[in-house]
Structure 1
Amino acid sequence: MTDGKPTPAGEAREIVAAFWTALYDRDWARLKTFFTPESIYYDVPTGPGAAARGPEGIEARLKLGLEPLAGYDHGAATVVASDGLVVTEHEEHWRWPTGERVTLPFVSVQHVRDGRITLWRDYWDLGTLMAGAPPNWQDTLASGDLSWIVDVTAEI
């Protein structure tokens, strides 16, 4: 994921901030504009074998888990940016329609090249999420459309 020119730190930081706004607003059309057809997103706990690629794949991946939520908010964040790299330490607050709530600590690492996010990895604890999520949400994940899954193990 090193194709293209690293985006300068200040610009990369602004791009990722705008990305977070689109994600927490669940503005799916805008969210897709931050990625190239070759962009990769995956959750480290589930590994690069369950990654999503490209704007449509990343959107499908995110919608699978987030659309059923009653609420999804971004907590306090610390952001560190260097040319082509933005690291965000933050928390997410997940709320389901059935009343369950989870605060999930995250570290997100995004590589930004030529003004687009080319690689995005999220580091978080799967046990924390699954312990607080309703069982039917977990069933929804397992039975949802998983056509977006791509194994990028050899690429990262």
Structure 2
Amino acid sequence: MSGHGAPEANKNQLAKAGKLGLKVAIIASSWHTQVMDGLIDGAQRAAKDAGLRADLIRVPGSFELPVAASRLAPHYDAIVALGVVIRGGTPHFDFVCHGATNGLMDVAVQTGKPVGFGLLTCDTEAQAIDRAGLEGSAEDKGYEATAAALETAVVLKSTLAGK
């Protein structure tokens, strides 16, 4: 299981995110409704646990996540990118996964804003469902991606506050 060894969300850091009033955007693709509903629910729950309300922005697919993140990053303290790509019989999977992953990393590095990586890249729909935070799922990647982005935003704000 890919979640083996993953840290628990730091509830103290999430509480700090709320106290700082951080602005967070959740950008979610529209493919695979069941999986996306679970990811979005988890992301919104993490924001709520931090005492924040996240803005939800929908895009057509995972390939569109980086451009939306790039345009929105200047207006938010943290971005969460949610999507799912399921392997098919063509190289399309590799192109979309690499493009979206590299694009999201570029956004984070170029803007200095944390981008929570909630892009599931799975071989099967069953694997995606198992990571979507749905009832019976083993993992909740929407929650994890949001918690990671918010915790990183708190670390950056706290570290840079005295500089």
TM-score bracket for this pair, using the shorter chain length: under 0.3
User: Which structure: greater strand fraction?
Assistant: 1
User: Which structure: greater helix fraction?
Assistant: 2
Relative to the length of structure 2, the TM-score reads 0.25
Relative to the length of structure 1, the TM-score reads 0.26
